[in-house]
Chains A and B, each alone.
Chain A
């Protein structure tokens, strides 16, 4: 939150809380204390909640396919052959 906010949670602490909540990083004692504050503070709660939703939505952007011409040039650069079919199929057997 910005300077106007009466909250004791700093940006970095909120970032820690978010990481902890998203399950990426282990929560430190300080982080768990801030989490308690966040739960009881509507402002911090909205802050963390909207950031969490933002991350989730951006994570949903699907990967793009590698364009055929880009694949062609890559394989050529590496002196590799196209699969026997002459067609590049992304679903290769493992």
Chain B
């Protein structure tokens, strides 16, 4: 048993090394102007960037513009890439900075005074007893059908921008609190507060979906 685990671990390590070596080669080729290598880099990482941008902006046009800007930057900076992280992590970081910049640019249009947001939260937290009752139907058993997927995506888009940023980066993209604080220029406790409010709002929406689903079925 132990030996099997050890050999699995070893083969994973070897796989990682192979992957890194292949990646290094691909980057070197792309830097030399090999368009096939460049295309391959785009095709490998575009999905990650596009989905991050789509979830953060909630808008296909803005997501596309983030996608283009990110890869323009990636190829501009690629000769400086030192391989301290994987290429994917490095690209993801560039994309995050660009999408946050984009959100800041439009902040004027979407800005909600904090006091108003807090007041709205008090009505929107939902009654925990109601939520717990809905959740007793165990949402994990729930099948993510097209309709529910769309509803959940919409629920994320409808969050105020600061709450959405915290939720998407932390809970969907797995950034650490410290990373998000650095990327957004906020304190860790401000991020925690945003994250918590986002989760509470989404929990209420989810409880309503489950409730609706249960009464329909």
Contacts and interface: CB of A to CB of B under 8 A. Distances in A.
A61 B40 CA distance: 26
Contact of A54 (B42, B125, B138, B203): B203
Nearest to A69: B64
A46 B128 contact: yes
Interface string B120-153: 0000010010011001001110101000010011
A41 interface: no
B44 A94 contact: yes
A15 B203 contact: no
Interface residues of B, number: 55
B43 A53 contact: no
A54 B202 contact: yes
Binding site of B, secondary structure by majority: helix, strand, loop or mixed? helix
Interface stretch (B45-53, B89-97, B98-106, B109-117): B45-53
Interface of B: 19, 22-23, 35-36, 38-40, 42-44, 46-48, 50-51, 54, 64, 67-68, 71-72, 75, 125, 128, 131-132, 135, 138-140, 142, 144, 149, 152-153, 156, 167, 170-172, 174, 176-177, 189, 192-193, 195-196, 199-200, 202-203, 206-207
Interface of A: 1-2, 11-12, 14-16, 18-19, 24-25, 43, 46-47, 49-51, 53-66, 70-71, 73-75, 77-83, 88-90, 92, 94
